[in-house]
Structure 1
Amino acid sequence: MRLSVLDQSMVVEGRDAGEAIRDTVALANAADAYGYHRFWVSEHHNAPGLAGTAPEVLAAAIAMSTRRIRVGTGAVLLPHYAPLKVAEAAGVLSALAPGRIDLGLARGPGADRQTAYALRPAMLDDPLNALGGPAFDESIADVLGFLGIRPFEEGHPFEGIAASRAAVPPPDIWVLGSTAASGRVAGRLGLPYVFAHFFHDGVGADAAIAAYRAAWSGEGRPYLAVAAFALAAPTRLDVHRHLLPYARWRAAGGRGAILPCANSGKPVGDGDAAELARWRTTLIHGTGEGVAADLTALARRYDADEMMIACPTAGLADRRRSLGLIAEAVGLATARSRFSQDTMEFVE
C-alpha cells in the first residue's frame, strides 16, 4: 500500500492564511523526507479556514523545494477554467519537476454559488458543466489532448494546439471525487481515481468505487486511492488533546471554518461531549501504530492501491509529528531505525 498526503492549507486560530500556505510547503518537505509517495494540495475559494486557492501555484513552490516526492493538485476544479489553461499550467509544472507531477481534476465548485459565479460567470449558465455531466468528461479529454497524452483526432477543432513543447514527461492525470458520477467519469476515461472519503465521512464510498470499476475502460487494472482524515500522536492523552478542537472545527462547518488551537484555553462546554461523540468516528486517530492499522484496514475494505492522509490538526509541529509517526509505523523509512520527536527526523 502506498501512502501519500493531501494538505488543505488549513488556517489555524491565531495565525493567518499566509502562514498556512508556508506551513504547507514546510509539511511537504517533511513528507518528502519521511518517504511518502506523493503530496497534493487542494483548491477552495472564499473559505476563511482554507488558504489554498491556487493549487497549481502552490504545487510549483513545493516541487522546487522537494527532491523526490511526487507533487500534485488535489484537485484543480476544472469547471471553473478553460482546459487549455489548466493543461498549460500542468506543462509548466512538469518542466519544473520532470516525472514528478500529478494533475488531479475534480468537478466540484469548491465555493459558494456567489463565489463560483465570480470565478466563471458562464459556468452557472451551463448546467452540464456545473453538475459534472458530459461537459466534464469532454473537458478532461481536452486536457489530455492539449498535453499530448491522448492526441486530438485528425480534423478536431483543437488539432495542432499543444499546452507544452518541453521535452519532459507529461503529468499523470487523476480524477478526484466523492460520488458515483465522478467514479464513472474516471472509469470511462481510464484514469486513476481518488475517492475523497473525508468529504462525507465515507458516505457513498461503495457506490462511487463500484461505479469506477464497472466503468473502467483503460488498460490494465483500475488504480484507486482513498483520501481520509488521519491524526497520530505519541500517546492517547496527546491524541485526545486534538480531538476536541477537531470536533469544534467540524461543528463549525469544517472546510470553511478556522481550525481551533489545541491549547486555546477555551473552556469545555456542555455540548462538547456530544460533539466529540459525533465527530470522533470521522477521524482515524491514535498512536502511529493504531493509525497505521486503521489505514491498512480501510485500504483492504475498498481494495485500494493507495491511502492519502489529510491531517486536520492545528500547528505545523503536530502535523509533522503525525506524519512521522505514521511513516515509522507503516515502515516507509525502512533504512532508518526510528522517528525522533525532538528533531522531527528519522535517525539511525
Structure 2
Amino acid sequence: MSTFPGDVRFSVLDRSRTREGEDAPQALRDTVRLAQEVEALGYHRFWVSEHHSVPGVAGSAPTVLAAAVAAATTGIRVGTGGVMLPNHQPMVVAEQFGVLEALFPGRIDMGVGRSVGFTDGIRRALGRDKDDADRFGEQLGELLGWFTGDQTAHPQVHARPAEGLRVPPFVLATGEGASIAAAAGLPLVIGDLRGRDRLLAAVETYRSGFRPSSWSAEPYVVIAGTVAVAETEAEARRLLMPEAWSLAHSRTRGVFPPLVAPEAIEELPMTEKQRGFYESGLSGHLYGTEEQVAGALEGAVKETGAQEVLVTTSTYDRAALSESYRRLARAVGLTPRARRSLPA
C-alpha cells in the first residue's frame, strides 16, 4: 500500500446531488450525514458548493448548509467550495462567514470562486451579469478588507461580526484564477485531475506569481478531482457512471438531471453525441482498488507538489459512496477521528 507524507491532507467536497426518486431536502440531509461519516474517517475538511436552478443539485446556499454541517460535527473543518463571489455582495458574504466563525470558532473555511449563474435567466434572477466575473479580483480584495477593516469601497461601514475575525480564505480557480490567488497571497484550490498539463501549468503560474500576505506566507495548493475506490477496478468505474450520464444528458438536452442507477444507464439508448460525452465523462478520473488509487494519487501529489487533495465524488448509491470514502481513507493512511460530544 502506498504511503503519503504526514503533511498531505485529504478533504471532501459534496455537491448535494439528488438521486432519481429522491427530493432535494433528502439530498441536503444526506450531505450532513456524509460529513459526519468522513469526519469519523479522519478527513481534514468537508466543503459544500453553490449551484442555482440546477435540477440535480440541491446545494444552492452553501453558507447555510455549512452551518448545518458544522452543527452536526465536532472536529472536521467546514467550508464552501465555494461561494461564487460575483453572485453576491462581498459585505454580505463577509457577514455570513463572520457569523459562522463566531458560532464555530477555528473550524470555518471560506472558499470563493469567480463563476456566475450559467444562464441568462439565472443571472437576471440573481441580479448579475456575465461580465461580473471579470471583477472577481476587485471583489475578492473588498471581501478580505471587510475582515481586516481595511476596505475602502464603503467608508465608515463595517461587516459585523466578521471584522477582526480570521476565516481562512481559499480561491477556487481554473487558469486565470490562479493568477488572482497568487497576487492576493491566498491558497489555491484547482482541478480537475484529468487535465494534468493544464493543471500543472496553472499551479506553476500560481507558485511563480505568489506574493506573501497576512493570510498566507507561502503558496498552498489543493488539487481537486473525482476519486472512486471499490473492491475491483470495474466496480470503481461503475461508481462513475451516474455522474457521467448526467453530464452527457446536460450537454445534449440542456438539463442536468438527478443521478440514476448504473443498471438503468446500461439500458438507455444513447445517440452518438451522447455516447461521446458519456465516455468522456468516464475517462481520466482516478478510480480502482485501494492500491491502484493510492498509487495514482501519490503520483498526482508528487507531480503537482500539492499539500492537499479535495475529493468531489458523486454516485447514485450512497452506501457505495460511503464505502469509497472508507476505502480511500484506508488507502492513504488517514487516522480515524474520535467523535466528541456535540455542544448542548
**How far 1:163 moved relative to its partner?**
2.1
Letter in 1 for 2:123: A
What count of residue pairs does the alignment treat as equivalent?
Answer: 323
Matches within 5 A, 1:194-343: 194-197=189-192, 201-202=195-196, 204-219=198-213, 220-253=217-250, 256-264=256-264, 267=267, 277-333=279-335
- How far is 1:83 from its partner? 0.6
In the alignment, structure 1 residue 152 sits paired with structure 2 residue 150: yes
* 3-state SS, counterpart of residue 39 of structure 1: strand
- TM-score between the two structures when normalised by the length of structure 1: 0.84
Matches of 2:78 and 2:164 in 1, distance apart?
Answer: 15
Query: Scaled by the length of structure 2, what TM-score is found?
Result: 0.85
Q: Give per-residue Cα distances to partners, 1:86-121, cap 9 Å, x unaligned.
A: 000000110121011011111111432210121024
CA 1:224–1:294: 2 relative to 1, 3 Å: same
Q: Do the aligned partners of residues 81 and 187 (structure 1) sit closer, same or farther apart at CA in structure 2, a change above 3 Å counting? A: same
The answer to whether structure 1 residue 86 and structure 2 residue 97 are counterparts is no
Q: CA deviation at 1:165?
A: 3.6
Deviations 1:178-233 (A, max 9, x none): 12x100110000000100316x7557323322221222111532000011011111
Deviation at 1:64, TM superposition (A): 0.6
CA RMSD of aligned residues (A): 2.6
Q: Which residue is equivalent to 1:340?
A: none
In structure 2, the partner of 1:17 is: 24
Does the C-alpha gap of structure 1 residues 52 and 202 become closer, same or farther in structure 2, counting only changes over 3 Å? Answer: farther
Distance in 2 separating the partners of 1:117 and 1:104: 24
Equivalent-residue separation in structure 2 for 1:203 and 1:10 (angstroms): 29
Q: Is the 8 A contact 2:49 2:80 kept in 1?
A: yes
Distance 2:14 2:223 in 1: 14
* Aligned-partner Cα distance in 2 for 1:226–1:285: 16
Structure 1 residues 140, 299: closer, same or farther in 2, change over 3 A?
same
Q: How does 1:68-87 map to 2 (within 5 A)?
A: 68-87=75-94
Task: Identify the structure with bigger relative contact order (alpha carbons < 8 Å, sequence gap 6+).
Answer: 2
In structure 2, relative to structure 1, the CA distance for the partners of 1:84 and 1:11 (3 Å cut) is: same
Alignment-mate amino acid for residue 208 of structure 1: A
Change (3 A) 1:158 1:278: closer
- How far, CA to CA, are the matches of 2:117 and 2:153 in structure 1? 30
Q: d(CA) in 1 for partners of 2:189 and 2:265?
A: 37
Contact 1:173 1:192 in 2 (8 A): yes
The residue matched to 2:302 in structure 1 has which SS? helix
- Give the percent of matched residue pairs that are identical in Structure 1 and Structure 2: 35
**5+ unaligned residues in a row in structure 1: which ranges?**
337-348
Match of 2:179 among 177, 184, 187: 184
Note the residue ranges of structure 2 that are not aligned, 5 or more in a row.
Answer: 1-7, 339-344
